Structure 1
Amino acid sequence: MRTNIEIDESKIAAIRLLNSNLKTKKEIIDIALEELINTMRRQRLRQMRGKGWEGDLDEMRTHEVPLI
């Protein structure tokens, strides 16, 4: 998808200083979006902490699954 946006060039320059492998603005934005997605997923997982769960792990571990 093609989109025109204004990007703070000082931030692009700072990222290039930190990671010289990122050559284009597109690469930088793709990585930034991936990092944002990963951060949001981790936050969602943290919110699930402490949720109730019922089950017997010992039985689940010893229960034999039939081979197909």
Structure 2
Amino acid sequence: MRTNIVIDDALMQKAMEVSGLKTKREVVEKAMLEFVASRTRKDLKELRGKIRFADDYNYRTLRGGR
């Protein structure tokens, strides 16, 4: 998808420096991937303690004893 966005020049430059990425496109794509991953983890953390497992649940058994 093509789009035009206005991004602070200093912020973009700093993002390129700290990430080691070479292009603005790479920086924007990386930032979007990290944003989505962060929000996904946050949503999973909100489920902590809300899911009831069976009393005999053992994840090791399901993984083949690894």
Identity percentage of aligned residues = 33
The count of corresponding residues between Structure 1 and Structure 2 is: 60
Residue matched to 2:40:
41
Structure possessing the higher radius of gyration over alpha carbons: 1
Structure 2 residue runs without a partner (length 5+): none
Structure 1 residue runs without a partner (length 5+): 63-68
What is the deviation of 1:61? 2.9
Residue matched to 2:53:
54
RMSD: 2.0
TM-score by length of 2: 0.78
- In the alignment, the residues of structure 2 paired with residue 32 and residue 54 of structure 1 have an alpha-carbon distance, to the nearest angstrom, of 35
Runs of 4+ more than 6 Å apart: none
